[in-house]
Structure 1
Amino acid sequence: MKPAWKLNQLLGLFLESPCPLCQRSQAQAVCVSCQQQIQRYRCELVDTGQAGQLPIFAWGQYGGALKRAIAALKYEGNPHLAEILGRWMAESWRSTNPTTDSVIVPIPMHPSKKKQRGFNQAELLAQHFCHITQLPIAVYGLERIRATEAQFKLSSLERSQNLAEAFSIGKPFLHKPPSRPVWLLDDIYTTGATAISAAQTLRQHGIHVQGIIVLARTEAGMKGKF
């Protein structure tokens, strides 16, 4: 039996389906009205890292319609939303980062959680991002070897402890480390605990991590530093 989200995708090929955010009937992944509301949360894309810190390239602020869209993508069986969101990320990236000398590594999900959800939203966003930017993607550059608790439930210290030794270098990078710098890619940036842990794992194998690209930053992420 196909998962519900796959059935939704198949039906969407033949019928107008409800917008996952407002339930209005429409022929696109998200109706025009909701697209406009999401765009209101787009933020200035600047690198905020300082000496010894990773730059953060964020498309938007985590709130309102953008927060709702991320929830619909991750928890309500709407993986097709990653296409438009990944495209928006890519278009903003191309307008400010013309370089093509990078490899994109999506933050991996533990296999048990990925099996439960049916997909990894960071991987989907990265695929659509790379389709537009033409940057190479290394889906298996990192592996998540330890299941962790949901980060939103934890304090900053608990987040770091929760992610200690959660990642391992992936077999492709283990056999042949990339010659280009790596940009990590994830859906949400809060305190940086996930990015720190992932970057440390790559750096332990001599891989240069240039920064992290995210769809949205929370208020804590706006104020916090790596």
Structure 2
Amino acid sequence: MLKQLISVFLESRCLFCSRTTSESLCQYCQQKLLSHQLKDRNISWNNLSVFAWGRYDGQLKRAIALMKYQNQPDIGGLLGKLLGDVWLHSGLIKPLAKITVVPIPLHSKKLKKRGFNQAEIIARSFCQITGYGLNSQALIRVRDTQAMFNLSLEERTKNLENAFQIGHKLPKHPVLLLDDIYTVGTTIKESAKILRQQRIEVIGAVVVAKSIISNQ
């Protein structure tokens, strides 16, 4: 009886449905998450190729919100694994290629408030699956930009002007940018521009979710 009680307290609960599970999400909810995978994952925008795992809707949107706003960074590990698995099977990059993954940085104020950068959490797991190097210091966010979900394309572009600077550790290999959500591409475009100004090759970007309103 005592062992049963102890096991109940030690068991974790699915963040979606509260079923007992050894992972952040139970197998049932992971399957529901997988239903949001995109068949056409490639986005070509403004001379930059972007690879998106899923559609920013339903359970995937909920997972990202839980991770970012309810202090559940473990979900980022799961999302990074899903992204890494699909990326490896895409055939877009030769196996064992020397690539550096650069997560889109948060401003220090937002990082302190949230406690973690969701893009970096996802990138760590992605790199564990792919074997790529991780560089979280290649870019610095120097302006605390406003949330962009209600902004027009012109407002988004202006909001991100001079928001990034080159960081303290330059990548030694071609860069693959990584972010959680792709909407219209302004964040990734601005990040790539800063790196390319230093003659750093940016081969593209990978994202967990593509917004259903994104422009291609």
Same fold (TM over 0.5): yes
Deviation at 1:26, TM superposition (A): 2.3
Residue 89 (structure 2) aligns with: 95
Per the normalisation by structure 2, the TM-score is 0.90
Maintained 8 Å contact 1:21/1:72: no
1:37 aligns with 2:32: yes
What percent of counterpart residues are identical? Answer: 42
Say how many residue pairs are matched: 205
Q: Does 1:74 align with 2:68?
A: yes
Of residues 181, 190, 194, the one that matches 2:174 is 181
Moved over 4 A (4+): none
Partner of 2:78: 84
The 1-side partners of 2:160 and 2:145 are apart by 7
| Aligned counterpart in structure 2 of residue 213 of structure 1, from 202, 206, 210 | 206
User: Which residue is 2:12 aligned to?
Assistant: 17
Q: Which protein is richer in helix relative to its size?
A: 1
Name the structure 2 match of 1:164. Answer: 161
Deviations 1:71-124 (A, max 9, x none): 111111110111111111111111113422321100000011001000000000
Q: Residue in 1 aligned with 2:124?
A: 127
- TM-score w.r.t. length of structure 1: 0.86
Q: State whether structure 2 residue 42 is matched by structure 1 residue 47.
A: yes
Tell me which amino acid in the other structure corresponds to 1:21.
F
Find 1:193's aligned residue among 173, 176, 186: 186
Aligned-residue CA RMSD (Å): 1.4
Gaps of 5+ in 2: 1-8
Equivalent residue number for residue 4 of structure 2: none
Q: Is the Cα contact below 8 Å between 2:41 and 2:53 reproduced in 1?
A: no
Q: Residues 58 and 35 of structure 1: is their aligned pair in 2 closer, same or farther, counting only changes over 3 Å?
A: same
Q: 1:57 corresponds to which residue?
A: 51
CA distance in 2, matches of 1:26, 1:47: 33
Question: What's the offset of the Cα at 1:218?
Answer: 0.6
Question: Secondary structure of the residue that 1:73 maps to in structure 2?
Answer: helix
C-alpha offsets along residues 117-174 of structure 1, whole Å, 9 cap, x if unaligned? Answer: 000000000001001111011111101011000111211111111100100001111x
- Counterpart CA distance in 2 for 1:181 and 1:56 is 15
Query: Aligned with 1:35: secondary structure?
Result: helix
Structure 1 distance, partners of 2:166, 2:42, is: 26
Deviation per residue, 1:177-207 (Å, 9 max, x gap): 52x2211000000010100111111111111
Return the alpha-carbon distance in structure 2 between the equivalents of residues 88 and 209 of structure 1: 22
Gaps of 5+ in 1: 1-13
Larger strand share, 1 or 2: 2
